[in-house]
Amino acid sequence: MFEFEWFWMFLLIPLPWLLRKFLPVAETRSAALKIPFYQRWLSVPTVKNSAATNKSPLRYFYYSSWLLLLIAAAKPMWIGEPVNLPTSGRDIMLAIDLSGSMENPDFVLNGQQVDRLTAVKAVAGEFISRRQGDRLGLILFGKRAYVQTPLTFDLKTVRYMLEDAEIGLAGKETAIGDGIGLAVKRLQDRPVDSRVLILLTDGANTAGEVEPLKAAELAKGVDLKIYTIGVGADSLDVQTFFGTRNINPSADLDEKTLTSIASLTGASYFRAKDTAGLEKIYATLDQLEPAAQEAETMRPQASLFYWPLSAAILLLLISSCIAMLTVHLPKAKVS
């Protein structure tokens, strides 16, 4: 929408007319300039009419310029549509395991058997979309841990980068401690009450330079809460040379360490044996760490004063040129 910030400036529109009407006309007692061809100058129709009636056609240029100057002084603004501003919510890092065991097909999604990472992408992706007002980041870890997405309000990018993750991208082993240490490094400078790490894995720490419990102590030192999630079914039927055999695909899951990490940092450990259980866990996390509800809005503004100001200057230049051309007289012939 279009509006004027100082609309009262338009009260000055009649000012030139009032000055002309009520101020006395200046009188000159002695001529400052003598024009030898004055009578001839008066014979020019435009000048004669202006001198006689004191109503030069150029007055329309002057009045238009005055109006444009007032429009510029009134500060015309273009106000855009309201835009939601990110609110100061929580700073949440998601640490996702990409080790080789995440390809075990013991989850069901939309009626189809899928691997663990595919189910995590679907459920965690929905969780990311719900965290409006929070800054989210993504850490992926296998044999190594690295930041896939730094903390940002751009939740679409975080979700896209999670969808783009592939099993084995960071190695086939599991460096849980390094993932926690990297989160501590990224979150230690953030506000104390907003630091949260949600770590998801399906195994035990088999790689990395930092032990998980040592990393948890570092997290506790910077008031970082670590919610841990262990994923994987308890039983899975697999086809072997000797027929169908039931195995425990989560035999390597170190629940004791994951529970200790969560407890040490004042958080909780969750166990996800199927997709529905994983959805409930992330719904519970929404309740334990609620997202900011009240969003601030702003309306972008663009100042437009330079358009009427430029037009006023242009009109004044044109009127000045016309005035100079009007009074210009050819040189008299010498007989």
d(CA 325, CA 202): 89
Beta strands 269-272 and 225-231, pairing class:
parallel
Ranges of residues in the chain whose predicted pLDDT is under 50: 41, 46-54, 329, 331-335
Domains located in the chain, CATH noted: 2-19+36-81+300-327 (no CATH), 85-288 (3.40.50.410)
Amino acid at 144: R
Question: Which amino acid appears at position 73 of this protein?
Answer: A
Give the 3-state secondary structure of residue 26.
coil
Q: What is the pLDDT of residue 329?
A: 47
CA 85, CA 153: separation in Å to the nearest integer? 10
Give the residue carrying structure tokens 């004791």. 256
The answer to whether the pTM exceeds 0.75 is no
pLDDT value at residue 86: 54
Angle between helical axes of 275-288 and 116-130 (0-180°, round to 10): 30
Q: Phi then psi for 42, rounded to 5 degrees?
A: -70, -20
Considering only CA atoms, give the Rg of the chain.
Answer: 39
The predicted pLDDT at position 200 comes to 96
Summarize pLDDT for 263-288 with one digit per residue, the tens. 999 999 999 999 999 999 999 999 98
Residues 6+ apart with CB under 8 A from 135: 86, 89, 90, 91, 92, 151, 152, 153
What pLDDT does 300 receive?
A: 77
